[in-house]
Structure 1
């Protein structure tokens, strides 16, 4: 298994598993794909992953959900990524 956080982490049961899938054959294909440097082998594994998704009827999100946040003017040092993820590392309230 790759130690990096792969782009498919949301659908792998070994990472975040947002769809709450049970362990399945897709995990093995995705893990092998993340370790493969050969482009032809990677393309073949991607085809296997696509076919597994289709055959199993998995629902895989293609985009993240849109979110809107509102903060009081007292809240300081909130950081937002381009994807609107919140970063609560240094926030504080100014009263």
Structure 2
């Protein structure tokens, strides 16, 4: 299978960045995430179980948040080092009316 790549970096108002994350969340739930720019677009089809990685730092008036979501074809079971009795951190719900296409 050919590998396709998409990259986008820009400075946005935090409200506009939030809209992009809302679109990603809707696409993740529906099973198709489409990301696009003026010149390019890529549709991703995530599988049932995804690996989520988050890193955050803050200091001297600056902050950074990195989020990565990856999946493998056919992955249907969890592999984690977190004990089954530990609850995951609560993530706020996103309105379902947001578009799954991220422009």
Same fold judged by TM-score > 0.5? no
> Larger RCO: Structure 1 or Structure 2 (Cα < 8 Å, ≥ 6 residues apart)?
2
Indicate the structure with greater helix content: 1
TM-score if structure 1 supplies the norm length? 0.29
TM-score, normalised to structure 2's length?
A: 0.27
Give the number of the structure whose residues are more often strand, by fraction.
2
